[in-house]
Chain A
């Protein structure tokens, strides 16, 4: 089992950071009622951990007995939608955007089903304590707008028997009516110090000796993503133990690979070079690295290498082509256009500077 999963805190009290929020959640749960909740925050900040801890607080340890099932939904015209659903006796969790453009029907179907069966099931097992079922929806911001509207209606209709916990990274993509019907909680990414504390705690539990400097290095390389930090720690341990302070922090391959692309970009600016870079981009894309992440990483790495006057232009064009990429298909077109533009700018700049 990966350390990320092994050392995941189970209860609200065991959470390592955002203590006031945990207390708030605890109070909310102990009051006996749970409002619809929307948790948002960057990836690796601990949204899911908090949700599970909260559910455990409500329903006791039985929420951890999970079943994973592949459900098939019949549609009106006879075709099927397959969806992975994780559930316990008390809650049910799925990712509506997996259903693609048909997410609306799936969301409505599941909620209706849970809402109609929920009270009977729970009412018989434990009385009074919490007679509602919880539905956890992931990646709500990737749901289509019709599905979100449908969700809004369903939310109102079945408040009596079920509660929704929504989870997303960017609440601006969630329609306002849903946001207004939920308690919106922001789970901020942990600071470097908090990550360091978690890392050293995990290292202690594993019986390892983690030098603070290395901990800090890992925290910095993980971009305030706790999941990534823990995975990196584990990778570092496999790579070299006992730890040393100067130890090289292992980066995922794709980051190193993008580093290579950036070096290519800076070293030579010709159409031929662009072709070479393009084949690298294709490799990245075909390894399922999302195009927007590629773009972002390239821009970030370029920024640190560029002189001040170029940075402005770089960001300007990056913004334009990022926007295009979201609006258009075929991301390679837009990434490449951005890189070509950058090459052109950078070349002009370096020619001008040499001229002086």
Chain B
């Protein structure tokens, strides 16, 4: 039942194209079936829906990007129809919200004659109440994950099931694009959460998919790393060959302005130029938000007849801009926030030096020692790191990690570093206490506050200003690496069906992994490094684990593997981010070779 509903909504071919109000009405009915929140009259349509572009020419996006995606779509479809594997069958489209990712895909699918199957997150549907069940009118409860699994299976494999009841999905259509929009990606990977299972389902289904899949991930431009992490969780690290990553940039201001002008013209709305500029500025590349702002601004404004005198701009325009700029808060990004905090001591020192300069001569003669002793404790400028952190809307743990990773290069004296490090360690302890009982959020402000103040107040002798780059903390990578390697090692050495093992399984199987890592494996490394082909018969997986665990100064950094074929390392992680335009010709070559 619910499956059918989804199909209904997926048949909604995205846009209510202008000039065909009846169709739009019908579609809205379909929409209303799915979610009751849909507006019921055309008047109250959101402009973002009303003015969805109908062709790729009117998309507010760079032409090149559109062409890339179009090319991939064609290639992927061709290769899948012919049964050739090489072209990645999954496209991951990432970009900030409101940059037109989904819209572009819908438009392209329509233009290329693809049938679009879109996963719509099911309505928050509780288990049917007892009363409903008694009356027998509750539809069968199906868990979200089960629904997802059914959707993935039916949409990726079989064609006949997914029927378009609209006229535009012709019966001859044999092409389909499966769109997974806004998949929730879980942050924990314990194999437990429903999201995790959702990812597993997708990962399993992908190799046998018969249609191209597009996954849309929404992420800000500064969080490119998080996109990668999400990706890894989503499709597994081994699926790199099967997917392609494209990033959509925020809509350029000029394009934004153009789009808004177009809408204004359609709506016969005449806003002063300043107002439009203000909206564009505050939207910061988010077309959806810009349109919302525009609509909001236009509400209740008299729609003048087509003519209005333009020359009344001037002061009034600016006033209008101030009045109507439905501002979104612009958050300063992470690096700037961290930099601001870390640079504060140097800035303060500079200010102090400047302030002291005129009086220096006079004071120097009178009481130079006291001046020197007093100066460092002077925190009189009211710089509050809390304010900076709060205004950036960042997670305190993240701020802490960044601060910790970057602070030493701003310090000159070890004593100060020691103080700051002690305070950061306090903050980390608090953070842990918070994560143990996350329902008590009152600890969090302290974390940011202590961390921020530590690097500012303790830094009495700031390093001379030089170019020091704020870099990403390694803590998280290291943590991930530890988990991965430990799992690998345990799997390689303690696998239940591991064949001939040099180490008696029962012994270390239960020693716990730390003993394996600390006592047994380092020695095994030494043994194997000295005597590569000796009696310690290791499998290749085991050798690889040993090599990976070797320190940079250790002799068994390059452990020879038994058979060179099997030794080929897994495809490098760089493949994830290879640009889309390079990937396709390379794969095309492969097709020719395989022929």
Contacts and interface: CB of A to CB of B under 8 A. Distances in A.
Contacts of B430: 328
B512 A95 contact: yes
A112 interface: no
Interface stretch (A15-23, A152-160, A178-186, A230-238): A230-238
Interface in B407-452: 408-409, 411-415, 417-418, 420-422, 424-425, 427-433, 435
A344 B417 contact: yes
Nearest to A95: B510
A337 B418 contact: yes
Interface stretch (A29-37, A113-121, A195-203, A285-293): A285-293
Contacts of B506: 66, 68, 86, 93
A274 B525 contact: no
Contacts of B398: none
Interface in B182-222: 191-192
A235 B421 contact: no
Given A69-B496, A253-B550, A272-B408, A344 B418 contact: yes
Contact of B432 (A69, A285, A327): A327
- Summarize B's interface: helix, strand, loop or mixed: helix
B595 interface: no
Nearest to A70: B496
Contacts of B496: 68-70, 84
A212 B524 CA distance: 24
Interface in B488-515: 489, 494, 496, 502-507, 509-515
B486 A288 contact: yes
Given A283-B552, A337-B418, A341-B421, A86 B509 contact: yes
Contacts, number: 204
A337 B424 contact: yes
Given A231-B523, A286-B481, A337-B422, A86 B510 contact: yes
B527 interface: yes
Contacts of A328: 425, 428-433
B518 A270 contact: no
Nearest to B500: A1
- Most B-side CB within 10 Å, residue of A142, A252, A330: A330
Contacts of B549: 287-288
B27 interface: no
Nearest to B413: A271
A253 B549 CA distance: 10
A90 interface: no
B554 interface: yes
B520 A231 contact: yes
Contacts of B428: 324, 328-330, 333-334
B531 interface: yes
Contact of A234 (B411, B421, B431, B527): B527
Contacts of A79: 191-192
A86 to B, nearest CB: 5
A271 B494 contact: no
A256 interface: yes
A104 to B, nearest CB: 16
A286 B548 CA distance: 10
Contacts of A272: 408-409
Interface string A208-237: 000000000000000001011001101100
Interface residues of A, number: 73
A148 interface: no
A84 B506 CA distance: 10
Interface residues of B, number: 71
Interface string A323-349: 010011110111011001101100110
Nearest to A97: B512
Interface in A264-304: 269-272, 274-275, 278, 282-283, 285-290, 293
A140 to B, nearest CB: 11
Contacts of B527: 234-235, 238
Nearest to A93: B510
Given A2-B502, A254-B518, A289-B518, A333 B510 contact: no
Contacts of A80: 191
- Most B-side CB within 10 Å, residue of A4, A253, A260, A343: A253
A139 B512 contact: yes
Interface in B211-265: none
B467 interface: no
A250 interface: yes
25 contacts: A1-B503, A2-B536, A43-B519, A68-B505, A68-B509, A70-B496, A94-B510, A142-B512, A225-B519, A227-B520, A228-B523, A231-B520, A235-B523, A253-B550, A257-B553, A285-B478, A288-B489, A288-B513, A290-B514, A290-B518, A327-B429, A329-B435, A337-B421, A337-B424, A340-B414
Given A330-B428, A334-B428, 5 more contacts: A5-B504, A228-B519, A257-B553, A260-B553, A340-B422
